[in-house]
Amino acid sequence: MSFEERRAFGARVADLRKQKGMTQGDLAAAIGRTASWLSQVERGIQPVNRLDVLRLLADGLGVSLQVLQPDAPPPAEPGAMAELETNNLDQARLVLSGHAALDALLNPSTTFRPGALPGLRAAVDRIWELAHRSQFAELSAAIGPLVPRLELACRTSAPEQRPDLHALLAKTYQALAAAFVRQNEADAAWVAADRSIREAELAGDPLAVFAGTYRLCHAFVRLKHLDQAEHAAATAVSILQRHIETNEPTSEHLSVLGSLHLMLALVHARAGERSSARRQIDEARSIGRRLGEDRNDFNLEFGPTNVEIHAISTAVDLGDAGEALDIAKGLRADGLSSERQARLLMDVGRAHIQRRQYADALDCLLRAEALAPEMIHTHAASRVAVKDLVLVAGRSASDELRALAERTDSLA
């Protein structure tokens, strides 16, 4: 897009915004960007080449994609495309919809058997295993009976057993928050993350509180509450950094701090703030080198490899596809969970779409699907990517692409 084309596009955005009676701040807030980013778009300084960002702007302005950008791919024929929301966490959502141990409040007693603790630990580990594999239907089914058991145990156990039980409950709610975010159920993720923070505090585990804050920030990002996400993450980073400077940090301290820097990188990338996002990636890289290995403290999977996966995702969010593909060259994520490996492939696919390398993009998405089918079928970013491929291909879409679109509910 030339400068003149950018100026014409920016003027069109400004005219449409004014017709709707919106200020730059109003529109920026509606689409999860900053007013300064929007100002640069309207002045022709900031290019908008990505289809997903164009669609975001069109939605914020309440117009069709073609009104905003006449040469954008045409909409699908009636009935050909459907943005159907699917998720496999209905049972898990019901678990959050009330107090899971009401009876214990009216009839307090000490009924928890200490011998049940190993079984509960195994059940919670299984929940995280399912979360890392993005097997949400199985996770939801297992959560149904587990959360009430843990909530009841926390209220009916002997006092000396309660810290362990609160820690297990915190870990369970964190898994729920992570799963809800991946299925674009941000309101439920907020509730689950908030509960995890409370349980971690009752368990006497400060670092688990910080890990819960990380999960909470993810929910804020999905809700496009970037100011809340930045405030929560930046506050946590500041406090944890001060603690590390005056105390000998453990690997767990470094993992949590690095993950929070990655969270800030995500927030800044979604706001279109390149320099700030890259600065946070550099901070995380430094911590990853200090840590020296890929770890999974608090199920954060922080380490040098995961930092680069986030760097790729950040570059894609910023529209820097070439940078994303350069980082991905030679990057091996075999030691991480299938969810992380699939996320890497999904973001590399998104980068290929930005570079109009559609065959490579489809190959990446299919490989990601083989690793974590439920994530690819339901993740908002993957569904947008598949939808973009279908829009570009039109009637010439291959059978392979159409089949993927059907599996992701991007094609009726």
Residue 108 pLDDT > 80: no
**For tokens 């156990």, what's the residue?**
157
- For residues 398 and 412, give the distance between their C-alpha atoms in angstroms, rounded to a whole number: 15
> What is the mean predicted confidence (pLDDT) over 85-106?
77
Instruction: Write down how long the chain is.
Output: 412
pLDDT of residue 59: 78
Name the DSSP class of 336. Answer: S
pLDDT of residue 52: 67
- Closest by CA position to 127, among listed 142, 117, 116: 142
Neighbours of 197 (CB within 10 A): 21
pLDDT of residue 268: 95
> What is the mean predicted confidence (pLDDT) over 281-289?
97
User: What digits encode the pLDDT tens for the residues 361-376?
Assistant: 999 999 999 999 988 9
- Closest by CA position to 236, among listed 271, 270, 262: 262
Q: Please answer whether residues 299 and 174 qualify as being in contact, where contact means their C-beta atoms are separated by less than 8 angstroms.
A: yes
pLDDT of residue 32: 66
Kindly state the percentage of the chain with pLDDT values over 90: 59
Residue 149 or 220, more confident: 220
Residue 26 pLDDT > 80: no
pLDDT of residue 410: 66
> What is the mean predicted confidence (pLDDT) over 183-212?
96
pLDDT of residue 73: 60
Residue ranges per structural domain of the chain: 3-68, 89-219, 225-333, 337-412
Confidence band, pLDDT 50/70/90 cuts, at residue 104: confident
DSSP per residue, 271-285: TT-HHHHHHHHHHHH
pTM of the model: 0.77
- Closest by CA position to 141, among listed 89, 86, 195, 193: 89
Q: Within 13 Å, how many C-alpha atoms sit on residue 31's CB side?
A: 25
Residue 281 pLDDT > 90: yes
pLDDT of residue 280: 98
Confidence band, pLDDT 50/70/90 cuts, at residue 27: confident
Residue 25 or 120, more confident: 120
Residue 387 pLDDT > 80: yes
pLDDT of residue 7: 87
Residue 52 or 300, more confident: 300
pLDDT of residue 48: 80
pLDDT of residue 181: 93
pLDDT of residue 78: 39
Confidence band, pLDDT 50/70/90 cuts, at residue 75: low
pLDDT of residue 154: 92
Q: Where are the alpha helices (DSSP H) in 292-372?
A: 304-317, 321-328, 338-354, 358-371
Percent helix, strand, coil in the chain, to 5, is 75, 0, 25
| Residues whose CB is less than 8 angstroms from the CB of residue 149 and which lie 6 or more positions away in sequence, other chains included | 120
Continuous segment of H or E residues that includes residue 143 = helix 136-156
- Closest by CA position to 265, among listed 314, 207, 232, 210: 314
Per CATH, domain 3-68 is 1.10.260.40:
yes
Residue 164 pLDDT > 60: yes
Residue 112 or 347, more confident: 347
Among 101-105, 187-191, 233-237, 297-301, which is the least confidently predicted range?
101-105
pLDDT of residue 85: 40
Continuous segment of H or E residues that includes residue 405 = helix 399-407
Residue 80 pLDDT > 50: no
Q: Write phi, then psi, for 223 (nearest 5 degrees).
A: -80, 0
Confidence band, pLDDT 50/70/90 cuts, at residue 106: confident
